[in-house]
Structure 1
Amino acid sequence: MTAGHLPDAAWRKSAYSGSVGNCVELASLLDGEIAVRNSRYPDGPALIYTRDEIAAFLSGAKDGEFDDLIV
């Protein structure tokens, strides 16, 4: 799906994101799912995840499971 097909989505990004557009944005959808997009391409692809999928990812990120990707 493209982010352009989600006109009512209220996109938000982390305060840790840089000012040069290297951001991932998320939006809570009316059906309870979470959309994710690249801020550089606001009308580009949007990936849709369930709340459980986002919760699993965030728990792993908080536990450092993905730290090796940025070292």
Structure 2
Amino acid sequence: MNRIHNAVRTLGAEGWHKPWSGSNGGSCVEVRRLADGRFAVRQSTDPEGPALIFTQIELDVFSRGWEAGQASLSLS
């Protein structure tokens, strides 16, 4: 079994981007592609906090749900 550690602490500050935007006062998610092809997703307001790790397919499904109002992200 592969153990996934908190991606934020191992990845550092570089390479994150905000793929979604909204009217929530700047509180949004940031995404970073990992070397193995997966994606780390974190809250921009908590860069030292935890990150979720998604495969490309999982991120696509999450994104569609997010856009349809069926998904939310709470890492705290």
Please give the TM-score of this superposition, normalised by the length of structure 2: 0.67
Contact 1:35 1:46 in 2 (8 A): yes
For structure 1, the residue ranges without an aligned partner over 5 or more in a row are none
Q: CA RMSD in A?
A: 2.7
CA distance in 2, matches of 1:13, 1:43: 16
Query: How many residues get paired?
Result: 67
% identical aligned pairs: 36
Whichever structure has more strand as a proportion of its residues is 1
Alignment of 1:1-71 (within 5 A): 1-7=6-12, 10-14=15-19, 16-18=21-23, 20-62=25-67, 64=68, 66=70
CA distance in 1, matches of 2:65, 2:59: 10
Please give the TM-score of this superposition, normalised by the length of structure 1: 0.70
For structure 2, the residue ranges without an aligned partner over 5 or more in a row are 1-5
Larger Rg: 1
SS of the residue corresponding to residue 61 of structure 2 reads helix
Q: List structure 1 segments (4+ residues) > 4 angstroms apart after TM superposition.
A: none
